[in-house]
Every structure is written in structure tokens, then in C-alpha cells.
Amino acid sequence: MAAEKKYYWLKLSEDFFHDKAIKKLRKLAGGDTYTIIYLKMLLKSMKDNGFLYYDGIEETFPDEVALDIDEDPDNVKVTMEFLIRAGLLTKKNEDEAVLEQLPGMVGSETGAAQAKRRQRARKAAGLLTDGHCPDNVATMSPRVQKCPPEIEIEKEIDTELEIEKDLEKSKKQRKKKAAASALDDADLAIRDALEAFIDNRKKLRKPMTDRAVEMLLKRLDTLAPDDYETQRKMLENATLNGWQNVYPLKEEKKRPAQSGEEYLMRLARGEEE
């Protein structure tokens, strides 16, 4: 049976922006940007209880976080360094860091709980009673005058939950299929090169997670947008050299053109083969 879908949200206390650390962060040059980056990091780590992970896709931890949340790497680096000094971010090891405030800032509920909450809200508002229409039904808008019995609402909720479960099951099946190849989002032009790179990471005992593959594809698109030939060469180059990541291709140095006379003179000096 498919796991119950869960909804998460970030709860900010009313004095969030009055916290000394946040006030200090905002007073820095570019502080508003750093504050947004902090909030995006909190949102990104919600399902992992505040943990951020480094998969080695980028050169440094901040660079990879920047790639993950679509922010400037230098700004993310400044933000993370400030959060560490302020005690809001703790590096557990080279590959893991945790946002200390996050566990107390997360709210969550299952799809069933959400549906029940909506039902209770309607009942509290007088839109639903124990199987009977409310007394003020005549004054309600035509949209709510129908006043369906509670059993009908229950059926509606059950239907919503079944749809959610089907969607979640379908999503997991697609994800499982993607995990089998880890290539569903890759263009056919780089598929073989990407498979070889992933296999090589396994040989290096640094296997890639689904998230790591997604970030690798994102990095390829950043380094060579829509240029699949260059992306393929970068992957092949990384595999050939046993690298854990891909890097921009170095431009080949071309020998300056020379005249026939210059060539003969260099040949005479033994400078040409």
C-alpha cells in the first residue's frame, strides 16, 4: 500500500525578524539576499529534518547548495559562513550540515488529516452539520445552498485521498523507473556518456544518488546550455580521467600560422619534425 502523502510547511515565529542573528544578517551588505537564501535553505531541508547534503557535484559544499537552490555561489558561501558563526548551521562532517532551527519550525500533516481539518472548518463555519442543512441555509450563496450531507463530504474526502494515493503511487513508479537508469531527464545525445560516467563513479566507490544525477545534469546545462556535444565531451573527459565531477573543456592551443619560408627555417634548426 502506498505511503500516506504528507504536506510540509515552514512556521516562522512572530519575532523571527527580531532575532539578533537575523537582524545582524540583514544589516550586512546584501543582507536581504542572505536572509532569503537562509529561508530557501530551510525550505529545501524540511523533509530531511534540517540536513543539507554534499554529493560532490560541485567543487565545494556552498557551491552545491547554490546549485540546488538557484542562488549565487558567493552569496551562499557568505550566508553559510555567517550561519555557522551564529550557531544556526552546524557542519556534522564534510558531506553533511544541519540547520539548527529547522526542527522546531516545521509543520506537517497527512492528506487525511488535511481533509479532516477542512471538514471541521466547514462544520465550524456552519456549512456542515450532522447530516442536516444549517438553519441559515436560505441566506447562503447558491454555491453552498446544496448543503450535502456529511456522508457525501466523507465520500468526497475519500475520493480525494484515493486520487492522491494514485498520484503518489504513479510518481513513485516513475521515480523507481528513473532510478533504474538515472537517465530519464538526459538527452539521447549524452545518454551513453552519462551511463559510463555513472558506472565509473560506482567503480570509484562513489555511487551517485538520484539527486546527485539531477544536479549533474543541471551543472551540464549550466556549463554548456543546449550544447549536447560539449556536454558529452565533458562527461567522457571526466570518465577518462577518473573524476567525480565534470568540468569545462580546455581550449586547444593552436599553433600560429607560418609561411613556407618560416617553416623551412624552423626545419633547418631542427624545430619542426
pLDDT tens readout for residues 31-51 = 999 999 999 999 888 888 889
Q: How confident is the model at residue 56 (pLDDT cuts 50, 70, 90)?
A: confident
6-105, CATH topology level: Arc Repressor Mutant, subunit A (1.10.10)
Non-local CB neighbours of 228 within 8 Å, separated by 6+ positions: 187, 189, 190
Mean pLDDT on 156-161: 58
Cα distance between residue 40 and residue 35, in whole Å: 9
Q: In this predicted model, what pLDDT tens digit does every residue of 211-245 receive, in sequence order? A: 888 888 888 888 888 888 898 999 999 999 888 88
Whole-number mean pLDDT of the chain? 75
Mean pLDDT on 149-172: 58
pLDDT score of 11: 82
Q: In this predicted model, what pLDDT tens digit does every residue of 68-117 receive, in sequence order? A: 999 999 999 999 999 999 999 999 888 899 999 888 777 655 555 555 65
Q: At which residue does the C-alpha cell 450563496 appear? A: 141
Q: pLDDT over 70 for what percent of the chain?
A: 59
pLDDT score of 265: 67
Cβ distance 246 to 196 under 8 Å? no
Q: How confident is the model at residue 130 (pLDDT cuts 50, 70, 90)?
A: very low
Non-local CB neighbours of 185 within 8 Å, separated by 6+ positions: 178, 214, 217
Cα distance between residue 175 and residue 179, in whole Å: 6
Cβ distance 38 to 49 under 8 Å? no
Residue 257 has pLDDT above 60, yes or no: no
Q: Which residue has the higher pLDDT, 134 or 193?
A: 193
pLDDT score of 60: 92
pTM: 0.50
Mean pLDDT on 166-186: 55
Residue 180 has pLDDT above 50, yes or no: no
- 3-state SS, the chain, equals CCCCCEEEEECCCCCHHHCHHHHHHHHCCCHHHHHHHHHHHHHHCHHHCCEEECCCCCCCHHHHHHHHHCCCHHHHHHHHHHHHHCCCEEEEECCEEEECCHHHHEEEEEHHHHHHHHHHHHHHCCCCCCCCCCCCHHHCCCCCCCCCCHHHHHHHHHHHHHHHHHHHHHHHHHHHHHHHHCCCCCCHHHHHHHHHHHHHHHHCCCCCCHHHHHHHHHHHHHHCCCCHHHHHHHHHHHHHHCCCCCCCCCCCCCCCCCCHHHHHHHHHCCCCC
